[in-house]
Amino acid sequence: MAIPLVFSLDDVTSGIIEDLRDASATFWGDADTEAFDDLIIKPERAKMIAGFIAGSTNPIQFAERLREWLLKPWNSTRTLGKGRMQAVGEALANIRENVAAIPADLSLDHEHADHEMLARMVEMFKQLDDCLGVGPTIASKILAPLRPALFPIWDNPIADAYGFALNAAGYHRYLNVTQAIARKARGFWHSDVSLEQYLKPKRRIWTAPLVKVLDEWNWMRITGKQPYVP
């Protein structure tokens, strides 16, 4: 029997560990999904992200590269033509210092973000969401590679399934519920091997943080409509 989707913290049981592992492995089976990991593991792309955060990479050029490297493979450019990337670059320039203030060494992850940090994340989300042609899904996709352990990705079906509005307020609620699910899932894990390492698909080079695996889980179970069958 398929395990039902989790929409409430009360529904999160120890079975979520294998569910997450299965979802990430299935998600990783699609070649297009490697576009995100490539931003982390390919030197040229990782260097450009680091350069943007440090202030040495032109934010408009950075936005244009993100469009080619991530948004295009993920079919997220229909409303975001090249002519609209200047505004996206300007929004990125506005949030750059806030991103740079977040530790890059995973010492601050989504599970440990406090209320003030979550509110700052929502403000950064809103800056991008307000750009013509971006919207809430693309805004989260742009933010996630900047600090992969902190920003979860969502889309319209996921927001609808959780009952959240497709705006900054809805994303704030999504941050809260994702954090609560991550914390509860972590509490079920008792091993010398890290949870992230256990959840990592065999072919995957990058060990994704838990919030990224939760994104893949939500996408597979809700957007992809593939239930977990133990």
3-state secondary structure 147-187: CCCCCCCCCHHHHHHHCCCCCHHHHHHHHHHHHHHHHHHHH
Average pLDDT over residues 29-35: 76
Is residue 96 a part of any domain in this protein?
yes
Give the mean pLDDT of the chain. 92
To 10 degrees, the CA torsion angle through 58, 62, 65, 70? 180
What CA–CA distance (Å, rounded) separates 139 from 23?
A: 23
Burial class of 52 by CB neighbour count within 10 A (0 to 12, 13 to 18, 19+): buried
pLDDT at 108 over 90: no
What CA–CA distance (Å, rounded) separates 102 from 116?
A: 12
Kindly indicate the confidence band of residue 33, based on its pLDDT and cuts at 50, 70 and 90. Answer: confident
Q: Residue 6: what pLDDT?
A: 59
Phi, psi of 148 (to 5 degrees): -60, -25
Is residue 149 a part of any domain in this protein?
yes
Question: CA end-to-end span of the chain, whole Å?
Answer: 8
Q: Residue 51: give the domain boundaries.
A: 9-223
pLDDT at 98 over 80: yes
What CA–CA distance (Å, rounded) separates 70 from 48?
A: 13
Kindly indicate the confidence band of residue 227, based on its pLDDT and cuts at 50, 70 and 90. Answer: confident
Q: Residue 10: what pLDDT?
A: 80
Cα→Cα distances 137→72, 75, 118, 142, 229, Å: 14, 12, 17, 9, 28
Is residue 229 a part of any domain in this protein?
no
Which residue type occupies 57? T
According to DSSP, the residues that pair with 94 across neighbouring strands are: none
Kindly indicate the confidence band of residue 88, based on its pLDDT and cuts at 50, 70 and 90. Answer: very high
The pair of structure tokens assigned to 177 is 């519920």
Number of domains in the chain: 1
